[in-house]
Amino acid sequence: MPDYQSINLSVTNRVATLAFNSPKTLNALHQKMRLELIDAVHKVEADEDVRVVILTGLGRGFCAGADLSEGMPGYTNFVDQCAAEYKPWLMAIHNSEKLYVAAVNGAAAGIGAATVMNCDLVLMADDSYLYQAFSAIGLMPDGGATWLLLQKLGYQRAIDMAVNAGRLSAQQCLELGLANRVVSAESLIDEAQAWAEQMAQGAPLAQAAVKKLMRNATSMSYAEVVDQEAVEQSKLIESDDSRNAIAAFFAKRKAVFKGK
């Protein structure tokens, strides 16, 4: 594994774990961390042995947002900085064929909250929370957070969160559909690993097709979705994984999926 300074990357049982590693600042994203995250995500994406990815933070918090103390080193405006240091890994997660699981410990604020919402599945510690801190410092949500909030909460709740520096507890996130599960803080990583390993044994081609369709369905009509489902299903029907799984079903044995 690469020797990163601000990111911990490990792989166990086809599950990669990317952990923000700047606990003294509650994992505020500084420039080095962002650049290492781009590289780490690309390595995970290229690793055929990895099927599911866990994102988490070391220490007391998931991510406190961007590190405001360093300004914009090397850039004269945020447009260029965002394009170079934020968008590459955000879009890699969004467009990935792999499933990303956010394991949220403590605060996920600012870009940290956007990162959580950009993942496919969210597991939250019972004392964790999402915080849209931007308006408290005269800024607006970024990292795709306005789109993500709108998609997940609807306009009224989304704009309330954005303009009033909204904070949602783990339980509120669960009730609103922002989180899949809430577990004790002590068991968070173990629960996330077990859940991810379970999904890693599933059918990767089918998982990728479902993610692709669901990520794009909101911009499509119902009829277009039906048609696109048929296209993806046709590919899956012809796959070795599906043929072997159907044979395993009739033979009453467990299917083994190879992604082919």
Closest residue by Cα to residue 9 from 41, 52, 51, 48: 41
State pTM to two decimals.
0.94
Closest residue by Cα to residue 195 from 57, 54, 62: 54
Crossing angle (nearest 10°) for helices 145-153 and 111-118:
50
CA angle 67, 73, 74 (to 5 degrees): 150
Sign of CA dihedral 63, 94, 55, 125: positive
Partners of residue 16 on adjacent β-strands? 11, 53
Alpha-carbon distance values, 252 to 74, 218, 260 (Å):
60, 38, 21
For domain 7-200, give the CATH superfamily: 2-enoyl-CoA Hydratase; Chain A, domain 1 (3.90.226.10)
Name the one residue in this structure whose structure tokens are 């081609």: 205
Domain ranges of the chain: 7-200, 204-250
Q: What is the pLDDT along the chain (260 residues), one digit of tens a residue?
A: 678 999 999 999 999 999 999 999 999 999 999 999 999 999 999 999 999 999 999 999 999 999 988 888 899 999 999 999 999 999 999 999 999 999 999 999 999 999 999 999 999 999 999 998 888 888 889 999 999 999 999 999 999 989 988 899 999 999 999 999 999 999 999 999 999 999 999 999 999 999 999 999 989 999 999 999 999 999 999 999 999 999 989 998 988 999 88
